[in-house]
Structure 1
Amino acid sequence: MEPSTFQLTDVVISHDPDNRKYDALLDGDGIGIVVYEVSAGHVVITHAAVKESHRAGGVGTKLITYALDHIQTLGAPITVQCPVVREFIEHNPKYAHLTARP
Structure 2
Amino acid sequence: MIEPTYRGRGLSWVLVGRALDDMRTRSVKVSNYCTVVRQFVELNPEYGDLLDLPRPA
- Superposed CA deviations along residues 46-98 of structure 1, whole A, max 9, x for unmatched, are xxx21122122121111111100001111011110111111111111111111
2:42 matches 1:85? no
- Return structure 1 stretches of 4+ with deviation > 3 angstroms: none
Unmatched 5+ residue regions in structure 1? 1-48
In the superposition, the TM-score normalised over structure 1's length comes to 0.48
Superposed CA RMSD? 1.2
CA distance in 1, matches of 2:21, 2:32: 15
Size of the alignment, in residue pairs?
Answer: 54
Higher strand share: 1
Residue 14 of structure 2 is matched in structure 1 by: 62
CA distance in 2, matches of 1:69, 1:51: 23
Q: Percent identity?
A: 33
Kindly state the Cα deviation for residue 101 of structure 1 after the two structures are TM-superposed: 2.3
CA distance in 1, matches of 2:31, 2:43: 17
Unmatched 5+ residue regions in structure 2? none
3-state SS of paired residue (2:31): strand
CA distance in 2, matches of 1:91, 1:52: 24
Mark the structure with the bigger radius of gyration.
1
